[in-house]
Structure 1
């Protein structure tokens, strides 16, 4: 019998391209999945197309409706063993600077919504199932760069939150991982001018979610690992010259 047969994964923001691939891969490893998203219709269509009904429960979840989060968690039929926060929102930096609504939405989805629901999940000590929390962050949050610092700031805040949450949950033997991701071929990046050689496919990134280990920071792809370490080490004077 697969050791994961009786384990459940809760994916928040499950309508993203990477999250959908993670659903497929978790099921292949024997997990049951609770897929939660604001757009349940798209999720249902994906599940029907891939014949995943028997292993997936679809629920409505709105990352920015903070008042609904406690009720959402309380009503889960099974408390999760693994939680993945995959919800995300992006507007380009120029628009974010000129229109605060876009900036606010990024803050709400990428950081505040995550903290709201993950605080609820993490502080429920009655859930003896909980083994791991994984947050999808971004290379954009490693250093402030003039091309994307507004979006990057929301991801930097999320990564910092996850780092502290990891320390908070260590005594309960609960792992926390931050997946620090570069460019992915997804709908959130459609229309952006990106280096084709650096673009990763959603199913490739999903493997790093499903197979997350003990390291806090997980950077998929060797090229992006090199970029990550370079960004971390560069002096500010050189970072300022980056696009």
Structure 2
């Protein structure tokens, strides 16, 4: 798929709107891409629509919830990645998740358990000398528990804490781990939700922060969301409980 001088990005959950923008931006930087998703047809259409160089992008089937397949998936990659992005995500409205555990369970499996399963495999592969960075897409919903979305938020909070520990685990190998902590993004997952339009970020804008990730652990795009992020972290519980 690539020569020895080309760097490879593995994107898990590559069918998300943000992930697709990451594909475009990494290709502009001359990376090779392994785009992995359950919905390969959508990715094929994306490649055709944007007339992408098929020699630079490989499409692989990946199911975050099929934990038993993860070792085989990783072992059969066309090349071992320099950068890994976990962008898979699933959202069920909180009241529905409260009453129907299947929805809550799927959020746990996609947003947290699937991430831990595959990233543990990738992180413990000492033979991959290419690996330099792992980036996980989390959410401000995971900063503090709020009654409107605490089940979804709990999966993102768990993922963030996992990445924080993984960052410490991999530091001795000079592998950087980042978490993208985003607010509202104008994506498929948020369609139909009553969101403040002035706070909506476009997928390309968020992707730019992922592709240009530095050494800080938390990446919070947009100054408005940075302010909200820090307020949420320090807000007393008595005030958090009054938030929607």
Normalising by the smaller structure, the TM-score range is over 0.9
The equivalent of 2:175 in structure 1 is: 174
2:53 maps to 1:67: no
The equivalent of 1:227 in structure 2 is: 228
Report Cα offsets for 1:142-195 as digits up to 9, x if no partner.
Answer: 000000000000000000000000000000000000000100000100000000
The equivalent of 2:100 in structure 1 is: 99
Aligned residues: 240
The unaligned stretches of length 5 or more in structure 2 are: none
SS at match of 1:58: strand
Tell me how far apart the structure 2 counterparts of residues 181 and 94 of structure 1 sit (CA, whole Å). Answer: 22
1:54 Cα shift?
2.6
TM-score, with length taken from structure 2: 0.97
The equivalent of 1:148 in structure 2 is: 149
Contact 1:175 1:214 in 2 (8 A): yes
1:55 Cα shift?
1.3
SS at match of 1:150: helix
CA RMSD, aligned part only? 0.9
The equivalent of 1:16 in structure 2 is: 16
Tell me how far apart the structure 2 counterparts of residues 213 and 98 of structure 1 sit (CA, whole Å). Answer: 41
Q: Which consecutive aligned stretches of 4+ in structure 1 deviate over 4 angstroms post-superposition? A: none
Tell me how far apart the structure 2 counterparts of residues 43 and 227 of structure 1 sit (CA, whole Å). Answer: 34
Tell me how far apart the structure 2 counterparts of residues 54 and 207 of structure 1 sit (CA, whole Å). Answer: 23
Tell me how far apart the structure 2 counterparts of residues 101 and 64 of structure 1 sit (CA, whole Å). Answer: 13
TM-score, with length taken from structure 1: 0.98
SS at match of 1:135: strand
SS at match of 1:171: helix
SS at match of 1:26: helix
Tell me how far apart the structure 1 counterparts of residues 150 and 223 of structure 2 sit (CA, whole Å). Answer: 24
2:140 maps to 1:139: yes
Tell me how far apart the structure 2 counterparts of residues 140 and 17 of structure 1 sit (CA, whole Å). Answer: 19
Tell me how far apart the structure 2 counterparts of residues 186 and 55 of structure 1 sit (CA, whole Å). Answer: 25
Tell me how far apart the structure 2 counterparts of residues 5 and 149 of structure 1 sit (CA, whole Å). Answer: 44
Tell me how far apart the structure 2 counterparts of residues 234 and 25 of structure 1 sit (CA, whole Å). Answer: 36
The unaligned stretches of length 5 or more in structure 1 are: none
1:5 Cα shift?
5.8
Contact 1:5 1:32 in 2 (8 A): no
